[in-house]
A and B are shown apart, each in its own frame.
Chain A
Amino acid sequence: MPSAIETHDLTRRFDTLTAVRQLNLRIERGEVFGLLGPNGSGKTTTIRMLCGLLEPSEGSAMVAGIDVETSPEQIKQRIGYMSQRFGLYEDMTVTENLDFYGGIYGLRGAARTTRLSAVIEFIGLGGRLRQMVAELSGGWKQRLALACALLHQPPVLFLDEPTAGVDPAARRNFWRAIYDLARQGTTVLVTTHYMDEAERCNRLAMMSGGRLIALGTPAEVAAQVGGKTLEDAFIILQERDEL
């Protein structure tokens, strides 16, 4: 069985800046894999290339067994994506957003009703369905975004800083949902700023200046960078960047 995500020398340049430099990753099915690194280290660019939102300048990547460069559209039915910036419609209700994305992912009739109620139940959105999205708090928006990304039961899920600006209780619930999904076989690639979240990943890749500088379990990554804890490692990195 092929890996869920596999990249070979994946590179992306913007004019003179190289945002991601020869990245090699192999992420297995059912893994919760973290991308860690300071701002501008290339995490978002990496995720966007894997989703087919940006074309790689060099190298290649396979997601759910499909080549990102040659068939970016086929990948889209098999991935869920939560962008860094909230990307749903604020002037529509929770239900209207769910209905819309259900329709876009090709859910019809009874299948749509069943799947929608399953996701609403799983995420716990039941009480908010008629509310206008603009009125929701950050935590609820994030839940809705996750729900929309899960409607078509994608085998691979990309989460770009999903918990930025969300309170601790909501973050804990969110991670509970992520683990449930991973247990059911969903592969999750998540970027984060929070050390406690990074600690929860099965494996981590630490990036800096577009390069992969450490890869492994949280403890292994800390050791590779030269810190006792992940937090030490992160600070060491940031200071190195500022030099």
Chain B
Amino acid sequence: MMPRFWPMFRKEFIQMRRDRLTLVIMTGLPVVQLLLFGYAIQTDVRNIPTVVVDESRTPESRDLVASLENTGNFRIVAHFDGRDQLDAAIARGDAQAGIIVPYDYPRRLARGETATVQVIVDAADPLSSQSALSAAAGVAQVRNLEILSREARRESVPLEARVRPRYNPGLRSPNYIVPGLVGVILTLTLVLVTAMALVRERERGTLEQLIVTPITKTELMLGKIAPYVGVGLVQMTAVLFIGRYVFAVPLTGNVVLLYAVALLFIVASLGFGLLISTLVRTQQQAIQMAFFFVLPNILLSGFMFPRQAMPLVFQWVGLLLPLTHFLKVLRGILLKGVGLDALWQQVTVLAAFSTLLIAVSVRRFHKTLD
């Protein structure tokens, strides 16, 4: 069976080892990505630069501002006398939020009227304004309960929602980002490297010599991508290792199952690269097309942005990406510790993707020059 697969595999391995650029892409990229995403990206925005206009200047108002600051979401950078200064600071971008305590705040509080505090946010950045808004609302809520309970002379509040964040109790960003990153890094490097593989031989003129031999299309293409399966597994191990020991991301589930599914995903990614290889004529085009493919993977797969929030059409588009399905497997196994009974759908889809992509690429490739 496929007697010319091994010579092809060995050749590809020798060349891979000697190609600086490929080695850099395969080792440097994962590390840089991991550190970038792992350290830089935090989905819960804290320390929003905030300016304060305290018109009442009373102990009550200072107490309110302090409790807003204590949430950790606001970092008070300046106190102003007038609202104009506050607006200007936000407009300039020196601050992203502003707190205005009106002069009648303590008086209304004392009389039992509704006292107001104004929180202004720069919603040009929705992520940070969101966290400012919920922090402000939270503070108000707590205050309300205190005051109402006191007036009603109750020992406890009438209702409390007890939220239990399962699988990521500390709501830590790395737990969300790092498992997804395994899939993103594999997609990025493997698609890119294999997309260039066939075109490079075409450009260098070595393909012409190769296709006048009896090697079959299947032997040629499988031999070409096979060494990168090993590369993918090594990359994944490295990311999991750093994730575990640098970012303290838990590894709850069955590791063997994780690697088995990863194998399917790796083959699917390589198949996609190979398909690109059959669609383009130059390495330049291959790189462009690979990036064109990688972008929707990052945006639509659920790696950073929740898929439920997307319009239906884009949710469907997301289903066409192997990464979308692999992410569920990664988070499922790493964070929730679930098994095949919960993930069989994703596994089936990934198996179908890998078979289909390889088969289509082999079909598309012709052992001729035109």
What is the interface of chain A, defined by CB distance below 8 A to chain B?
14, 48, 51-55, 72-73, 76-77, 79, 81, 83, 85-92, 96, 99-106, 108, 145, 148
Residues of B with C-beta under 8 A to A51: 212
Cα A201 to Cα B205 with chains together (Å) = 28
Let me know if A53 and B211 touch, CB within 8 A.
yes
Interface of chain A, main secondary structure:
loop
Q: A92-B15, A96-B11, A106-B3 are in contact. Are A86 and B205 (CB under 8 A)?
A: yes
**In chain B, what residue has the closest Cβ to A74?**
B214
Cα A234 to Cα B279 with chains together (Å) = 41
Residues of B with C-beta under 8 A to A106: 3-4, 214
Let me know if B7 and A104 touch, CB within 8 A.
yes
Cα A83 to Cα B207 with chains together (Å) = 11
Let me know if B6 and A85 touch, CB within 8 A.
no
Let me know if B368 and A52 touch, CB within 8 A.
yes
**In chain A, what residue has the closest Cβ to B206?**
A87
Q: Answer whether residue B81 sits at the interface, using C-beta atoms and an 8 A cutoff.
A: no
Residues of B with C-beta under 8 A to A148: 209
**In chain A, what residue has the closest Cβ to B11?**
A100
Leading 3 A-B pairs by shortest Cβ distance: A103-B7, A87-B209, A85-B205
| Cβ distance B145 to chain A, nearest Cβ, rounded Å | 71
The contact of B206 among A72, A79, A89, by CB within 8 Å, is A89
Residues of A with C-beta under 8 A to B216: 73
Residues of A with C-beta under 8 A to B11: 89, 92, 96, 100
Residues of A with C-beta under 8 A to B19: 91
Cα A81 to Cα B210 with chains together (Å) = 10
Give 23 CB contacts A-B under 8 Å.
A52-B368, A53-B208, A53-B368, A54-B370, A55-B370, A72-B367, A72-B368, A76-B213, A81-B209, A83-B208, A87-B209, A88-B206, A90-B204, A92-B11, A92-B18, A103-B6, A103-B10, A104-B8, A104-B210, A104-B214, A104-B215, A105-B214, A106-B214
Let me know if B214 and A76 touch, CB within 8 A.
yes
The contact of A52 among B8, B207, B209, B212, by CB within 8 Å, is B212
Let me know if A96 and B14 touch, CB within 8 A.
yes
Q: Answer whether residue B369 sits at the interface, using C-beta atoms and an 8 A cutoff.
A: yes
Cα A238 to Cα B212 with chains together (Å) = 32
**In chain A, what residue has the closest Cβ to B217?**
A73
Count how many chain B residues have C-beta atoms less than 8 Å from C-beta atoms of the other chain.
Answer: 28
The contact of A103 among B4, B14, B205, B207, by CB within 8 Å, is B4
Q: A52-B368, A77-B214, A79-B212 are in contact. List 16 more A-B contacts (CB 8 A).
A: A52-B212, A52-B367, A55-B368, A73-B214, A73-B367, A87-B208, A87-B209, A89-B206, A92-B11, A92-B18, A96-B14, A99-B7, A99-B10, A100-B7, A106-B214, A148-B209
Q: A48-B369, A92-B11, A100-B11 are in contact. Are A83 and B214 (CB under 8 A)?
A: no
Residues of A with C-beta under 8 A to B212: 51-53, 76, 79, 81
Let me know if A91 and B213 touch, CB within 8 A.
no
Cα A90 to Cα B204 with chains together (Å) = 9
Residues of A with C-beta under 8 A to B369: 48, 53-54
Cα A104 to Cα B4 with chains together (Å) = 5
Residues of A with C-beta under 8 A to B215: 104
Residues of A with C-beta under 8 A to B213: 76, 101, 104-105
Cα A100 to Cα B212 with chains together (Å) = 14
**In chain B, what residue has the closest Cβ to A82?**
B209
Cα A209 to Cα B171 with chains together (Å) = 74
Of the listed residues B11, B210, B212, B368, the one surrounded by the most CB atoms of chain A closer than 10 A to its CB is B212
Residues of B with C-beta under 8 A to A72: 367-368
Chain B 1-35 interface mask (CB, 8 Å, partner A; 1/0): 00110111011001100110000000000000000
| Cβ distance A18 to chain B, nearest Cβ, rounded Å | 15
**In chain B, what residue has the closest Cβ to A92?**
B14
Residues of A with C-beta under 8 A to B211: 53
Cα A54 to Cα B368 with chains together (Å) = 6
Let me know if A88 and B15 touch, CB within 8 A.
no
Q: A51-B212, A76-B214, A106-B214 are in contact. Are A100 and B10 (CB under 8 A)?
A: yes
Cα A128 to Cα B301 with chains together (Å) = 52
Cα A89 to Cα B212 with chains together (Å) = 15
Cα A106 to Cα B210 with chains together (Å) = 14
| Cβ distance A177 to chain B, nearest Cβ, rounded Å | 19
Cα A99 to Cα B205 with chains together (Å) = 19
